[in-house]
Amino acid sequence: MLVDYEELVRTLETQSCRHGAGGRPNTGTEWRACCGMSYEYLNDLSVLDALQVIIDSTPAHESNRVKALIEPLDGRLRTQLSGSAGRRRSETE
């Protein structure tokens, strides 16, 4: 699941995904239609719910270890989400 979460963050950082025909990357308009705030993106975000279940159901020492692995990805995701919100606002001004 951590690999899936890291892939989600990478997709937002690079604005590309690996869902193109024949395994080629989607970029630009193709990326936005595929993973840029689409069903695919929201589905990928569901991995966060699964990770939270793991955190909530494991002993403290294990949940702390998982949290330590997730925190850098959370930071990267927050950076991308706050940046994209800023870009959308400036595009409408």
Task: Please indicate, yes or no, if residue 11 is contained in any of the structural domains.
Answer: yes
For position 91, what pLDDT does the model report? Answer: 45
- Is pLDDT above 60 for 86? no
Specify whether the CB–CB gap between 17 and 25 falls below 8 A.
Answer: yes
Task: Please indicate, yes or no, if residue 93 is contained in any of the structural domains.
Answer: no
**C-alpha dist (Å) from residue 31 to 11, 15, 18, 37, 46:** 9, 7, 9, 10, 19
Q: Which residue has the higher pLDDT, 4 or 84?
A: 4
Model pLDDT for residues 13-33, shown as the tens digit of each residue: 888 988 888 889 999 888 888
Domain count, the chain: 1
For position 33, what pLDDT does the model report? Answer: 82
b/e burial code for range 2-41 (CB count within 10 A of at least 16 → b): eeebbebbebbeeebbeeeeeeeebeeebbeebbbeeebb
At 57, the pLDDT band (50, 70, 90 cuts) reads very high
Q: Which residue has the higher pLDDT, 81 or 87?
A: 81
- Is pLDDT above 90 for 36? no
Task: Please indicate, yes or no, if residue 67 is contained in any of the structural domains.
Answer: yes
Domain containing 56: what range?
2-84
